[in-house]
Structure 1
Amino acid sequence: MSNHPSSIPELSDSSIRYFQAYNESLGLWPVRCKSFYVSTRFGQTHVIASGPEDAPPLVLLHGALFSSTMWYPNIADWSSKYRTYAVDIIGDKNKSIPEDLSGTRTGYANWLLDVFDNLGIEKSHIIGLSLGGLHTMNFIMRVPERVKSAAILSPAETFLPFRDDFYKYALSLTEPNGVEKFLSWMMGDRNVLNPNFVKQFQAGVMWQDGSRNPSPKADGFPYVFTDEELQSVKVPILLLLGEHEVIYDPHSALHRASSLVPGIKAEIINAGHILSMEQPAYVNKRVMRFFST
């Protein structure tokens, strides 16, 4: 574990702008935190830790292009009871540094296992939103003995394929007004993102780096789990979906999850895709209540 990566690639202007915007977003973090890197076989992984060092661990996995800074509306509540580790998902736009990323589902599970091992986490609760929710389910499938329970929020695919609209807006992100159109589509008139965070999101979109957001693989992500995979889950799961979800039909996703995943607790709340930022007070309490049962 180190405060700085062992090797820092030469930075481009766009990456410098991104890191500056990331640091500005981290300024929204309402509690004390420690930012550092852990080594994995797939590269250096950036982590933001908060809360009492002797408290039970809670790992947070963010949505695509949002980075760990997205948890600023939630972290005060969660770190009051847990030692939280907000992990920058390797291969996405954030401060982690991919070095030998396989991009497969097995590879991503091994990456997160390395993170757990190097943080000294034997077993943890996990919260994952969107891409982070997909990573959480993938990890649960492969290393269930390391997970106490999990809250999966608006998971990317996982239960249902993306609607075509998702690809239309996602592929248009770098076009003029692409970010504004994407966020408007995803959040409607409920947009509650801080301007600093929007600036970071924009900088991440414009940062072109082939080692981040690698090309999809047949055995990678995005992915819809099979009936058999979902029926094999052995970890307690809370699934929260937004009534105003646009990437798939939330009612159909809830039905499939509830029908297949043993013991899952699932509900739809009055929010859109980024429900932890839209309804932080409710989500914070609901997740904490689930973890305490």
Structure 2
Amino acid sequence: MQKTSVFKSQEGREKIRGYYDMILNAFPLGKRYVETTFGRTFILEAGKSDRPPMVLLHGSCSNNAAWLGDLSALSREYHAFAVDIPGEPGNSEEYRLNLQSDEYSRWLAEVLDALALKKAILVGNSLGGWLALQFTAAHPERVQALILLAAAGLVPPKQAFIEQTQKIPMDRSSAKATKDTILGDSVLPAEVLQFMMLVFEHFNPIIGALPILSDVQLAGLSMPVLFIAGISDATMDATLAAKRLKAQVPQAEVILLEGSHVITTAADKVLPFLAGIL
């Protein structure tokens, strides 16, 4: 079967990646690619190599630029690797993996192998949280601690949000509406908002619900777990997600914030949690 790019056109791909690279060039971060059987993967690297390794996984319709506000703080304590997920608007492979299979977990295992990381702290946001959950359920021995920021995969998404995202390919106004839904009352720099609209204009997002982890999968998470979400998250019922996680993973720490799906300054919560358990 022929693969289909997640970018609507080659021109759109170059616009997104050009803007992305312009943002990254303003920061003194290491940049590298690793090869996997699922294609080339782009990684930002920060922090000293003798610090505990931390792998950061961004959300849908996003890339490693999402971590730029937190990387400085996180890399003072950890050797941080921010990874562009394949099939998202970053610099990794432009073909989406099979969400209904174990391909994303296998891809991430290959990335960790390429980085020579036997074990790492995983931090996942939204789609990245779902990916982190899937990987951790399959490879618990490779995860030192699991940090979930508004993670998908714990409860079904809200139907209104799914219906809204399904309209994006046919209705450009739905892109702005979806952006507003995700942001809620969050205030982001104008450059970030401009980039989000550029992505929605030239990128084909995931428009269906992600698979939900089973109780058995969740019950196998024996490592320290932190879950952070906004109680006004329009993509899911964050309170219900927290309740289900605590029922299956009793040691999980839950922080429910006033706010929406976007969690800013995550390092302010992540660093104290890790300091207390590592």
Amino acid at match of 1:13: E
- Partners of 1:187 and 1:273 within 8 A in 2: yes
Structure 2 counterpart of 1:3: none
Q: Give the Cα separation in 2 of the matches to 1:72 and 1:208.
A: 21
Deviates further, 174-183 or 34-43: 174-183
Structure 2 counterpart of 1:252: 240
1:140-289 alignment runs, 5 A limit: 140-156=136-152, 158-174=153-169, 175-188=171-184, 190-208=185-203, 222-275=210-263, 277=264, 280=265, 283-289=266-272
Compared with structure 1, are the counterparts of its residues 99 and 274 closer, same or farther at alpha carbon in structure 2 (3 Å cutoff)?
Answer: closer
Quote how far apart the aligned CAs of 1:214 are: 7.1
Quote how far apart the aligned CAs of 1:100 are: 8.9
- Partners of 1:241 and 1:267 within 8 A in 2: yes
Q: Secondary structure at the match of 2:172?
A: coil
Q: Give the Cα separation in 2 of the matches to 1:214 and 1:274.
A: 18
- Partners of 1:231 and 1:261 within 8 A in 2: yes
CA RMSD across the alignment: 2.1
Compared with structure 1, are the counterparts of its residues 28 and 166 closer, same or farther at alpha carbon in structure 2 (3 Å cutoff)?
Answer: farther
- Partners of 1:159 and 1:257 within 8 A in 2: yes
- Which 4+ residue blocks in structure 1 deviate beyond 6 angstroms? none
1:27-106 alignment runs, 5 A limit: 27=25, 29=27, 32-98=28-94, 101-106=97-102
- Partners of 2:87 and 2:96 within 8 A in 1: no
Q: Secondary structure at the match of 1:161?
A: coil
- Partners of 1:28 and 1:72 within 8 A in 2: no
- Partners of 1:51 and 1:83 within 8 A in 2: yes
Q: Give the Cα separation in 1 of the matches to 2:183 and 2:129.
A: 18
Compared with structure 1, are the counterparts of its residues 61 and 264 closer, same or farther at alpha carbon in structure 2 (3 Å cutoff)?
Answer: same
Structure 1 counterpart of 2:21: 23
Q: Does 1:128 align with 2:124?
A: yes
Compared with structure 1, are the counterparts of its residues 208 and 259 closer, same or farther at alpha carbon in structure 2 (3 Å cutoff)?
Answer: closer
Quote how far apart the aligned CAs of 1:259 are: 1.0
Deviates further, 199-208 or 83-92: 199-208
Q: Secondary structure at the match of 1:177?
A: helix
- Partners of 2:87 and 2:94 within 8 A in 1: yes
Quote how far apart the aligned CAs of 1:194 are: 2.1
Quote how far apart the aligned CAs of 1:205 are: 2.2
Unaligned runs of 5+ in 1: 1-10
Q: Give the Cα separation in 2 of the matches to 1:105 and 1:47.
A: 23
Q: Give the Cα separation in 1 of the matches to 2:172 and 2:203.
A: 16
Quote how far apart the aligned CAs of 1:106 are: 1.5
Structure 1 counterpart of 2:12: 14
Q: Give the Cα separation in 2 of the matches to 1:49 and 1:203.
A: 25
Amino acid at match of 1:136: A
Amino acid at match of 1:14: G
TM-score between the two structures when normalised by the length of structure 1: 0.84
Quote how far apart the aligned CAs of 1:260 are: 1.2
Q: Does 1:116 align with 2:99?
A: no
State the identity as a percent: 24
Deviations 1:65-124 (A, max 9, x none): 111111121111101111111000112221101569444442111100000010111111
Q: Give the Cα separation in 2 of the matches to 1:257 and 1:39.
A: 34
Deviates further, 242-251 or 35-44: 242-251
Quote how far apart the aligned CAs of 1:201 are: 2.2
Q: Secondary structure at the match of 2:66?
A: helix
Unaligned runs of 5+ in 2: 1-8
TM-score between the two structures when normalised by the length of structure 2: 0.88
Deviations 1:151-186 (A, max 9, x none): 101012x11101111112212335233332112222
Quote how far apart the aligned CAs of 1:198 are: 2.3
Quote how far apart the aligned CAs of 1:59 are: 0.4
Compared with structure 1, are the counterparts of its residues 240 and 100 closer, same or farther at alpha carbon in structure 2 (3 Å cutoff)?
Answer: closer
